[in-house]
Amino acid sequence: MSDDQWDAILDVHLKAPFRILRAAQPVISAAVKQARAAGTEVPCRKVVNISSIAGTGGNAGQANYSAGKAGVIGLTKALSKEWGRYNVTVNAVAFGLIRTRLTEVPAGGDGKIDIAGRQLAVGVNPELLDAMERGIPLGRAGTPADAAGAVYLLCLPESDYVSGQVVICGGGFNA
């Protein structure tokens, strides 16, 4: 793996979430100070970061991706401690296999996506995808709706006292 490959994946999967959260902090802090000065209740705000089971247990051939997603978990846990004073919960969802446009086409086919003017091949070997699905106790890959549901759970008021946690959305894969 080249330094460029390492850096590109960490930029997307770790540096970008950090920068977004860093930009949000002054806005959140100011809103909390304003509410406290006015004597009003500070609402519970939610941050749900996106990680992967590759970040909880590694994945062969994806040291960069695994490191980035493990970093998101560390960022989540640190910010849950730092932002609790603002009444912000910070959690993460670590996804297992989710069927997306990147997994729907066979590897080596003509599936491509455009990223900043570059055509990148996408796809997964169908035999590998079948083997991965057989290893999931629910017997299937997750859907985008499954993924959204896991994030939604951490946005509900019922989760207002849950912070610093990682919810695995993987159909029981790493139970």
Instruction: Name the region of 53 (left: φ>0; alpha: ψ -120 to 50; beta: rest).
Output: alpha
Both tokens of residue 150?
């896991």
pLDDT tens-digit map of 96-144:
999 987 777 766 667 777 778 888 777 777 888 888 899 999 999 999 9
pLDDT at 19: 98
Question: Considering only the top CATH level, what class is 3-97+136-169?
Answer: alpha beta
Q: Which of 65, 86, 152, 161 is catalytic?
A: 65
Question: Whole-model pTM?
Answer: 0.90
pLDDT tens-digit map of 39-93:
999 999 999 999 999 999 998 889 999 999 999 999 999 999 999 999 999 999 9
For the question of residue 152 being annotated catalytic, the response is no
